[in-house]
């Protein structure tokens, strides 16, 4: 769902770890445990690998020791800020066929939402993910793709170009993304400022979402230190 998904969608060229979004029920976690055992994966850092932590929104971090996967990092999560539960995300997933087998990844729209974090590095990634989707379509336009671009593009010149090309669709999307008024007006300066404000608001929302979870992580660390 993370860096590897960004590679597949064209937003990144390389990722050092693998992020997995899982259904946190007992049967599935049992299967996951078996898979992680095969990889000789150890939990590193906090929290421990427990269903309640996954359901609470924390990520569990592993490092593998098995030959062929030595040193590989795997992060596991079960919930993502701003997104519905696993079943819905699974229904909306993208399936990619490769020589090495089938890969299931978050839908592009869900991945973009998941990347709206407080981290600097995620925002250029979002821009590239949506650009790559626009590039992939070439001159083809379908309503779903246009909706995604109008709501998620972060490249001012592309947004202005798209609004000029599809003024009715852009106007219809204004209630969902007010900054499209600047794109329709061709006002790049106002559009850049509005994009920045949009990003700042999402970063703040992410910080607020994580504040109690960070406290929880710190308490787990303190407990671990206290118990030696």
Partner 1 sequence: MKQVAKQDSIDWVDLVGAEWAEWYSLTPAQRLEESSRLWQTYLELGGSLDPEPDSQSPFYSDEEWCAFAPHGRSGMRVVRRG
Give Cα separations from 135 to 64, 112, 129, 132, 138 (angstroms).
36, 16, 10, 5, 5
DSSP designation for 70: T
Using the minimum distance from each CB to partner 1, give the nearer residue, 46 or 194.
46
Using the minimum distance from each CB to partner 1, give the nearer residue, 44 or 66.
44
What's the min distance (Å) between Cβ of 27 and partner 1?
27
What's the min distance (Å) between Cβ of 221 and partner 1?
7
Using the minimum distance from each CB to partner 1, give the nearer residue, 124 or 178.
124
Residues 6+ apart with CB under 8 A from 141: 166
Q: What is the dihedral of CA 5, 11, 15, 18, to 10 degrees?
A: -20
Using the minimum distance from each CB to partner 1, give the nearer residue, 11 or 106.
11
Tokens (6 digits) for 58: 């924390």
| Through-space distance between the first and last CA atoms of the chain, rounded to whole angstroms | 35
| Contact residues: partner 1, CB under 8 A | 3, 6-17, 44-46, 59, 61, 63, 71-73, 96-100, 103, 117-121, 125, 128, 131-132, 134-136, 138-144, 146, 155, 157-158, 161-162, 165-166, 169, 210, 213-214, 217-218, 221
What's the min distance (Å) between Cβ of 193 and partner 1?
21
Using the minimum distance from each CB to partner 1, give the nearer residue, 11 or 182.
11
What's the min distance (Å) between Cβ of 98 and partner 1?
5
Residues 6+ apart with CB under 8 A from 72: 17, 18, 39, 63, 64
What's the min distance (Å) between Cβ of 34 and partner 1?
22
């Amino acid at each position: 769902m993370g860096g590897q998904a960004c590679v597949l969608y064209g937003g990144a060229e390389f990722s050092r770890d693998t992020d997995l979004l899982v259904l946190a029920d007992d049967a599935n976690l049992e299967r996951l445990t078996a898979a992680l055992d095969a990889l000789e994966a150890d939990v590193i850092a906090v929290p421990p690998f427990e269903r309640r932590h996954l359901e609470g929104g924390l990520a569990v971090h592993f490092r593998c020791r098995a030959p062929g996967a030595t040193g590989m990092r795997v992060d596991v999560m079960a919930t993502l800020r701003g997104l519905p539960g696993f079943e819905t995300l699974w229904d909306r997933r993208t399936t990619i066929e490769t020589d090495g087998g089938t890969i299931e990844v978050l839908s592009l729209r869900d991945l973009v939402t998941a990347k709206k974090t407080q981290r600097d590095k995620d925002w250029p990634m979002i821009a590239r993910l949506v650009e790559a989707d626009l590039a992939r379509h070439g001159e083809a336009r379908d309503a779903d793709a246009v909706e995604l671009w109008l709501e998620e593009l972060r490249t001012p010149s592309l947004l202005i170009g798209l609004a000029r090309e599809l003024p009715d669709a852009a106007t219809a999307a204004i209630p969902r993304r007010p900054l499209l008024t600047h794109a329709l007006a061709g006002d790049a300066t106002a559009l850049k400022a509005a994009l920045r404000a949009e990003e700042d608001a999402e970063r703040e929302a992410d910080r607020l979402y994580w504040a109690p979870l960070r406290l929880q992580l710190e308490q787990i660390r303190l407990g671990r230190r206290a118990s030696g």
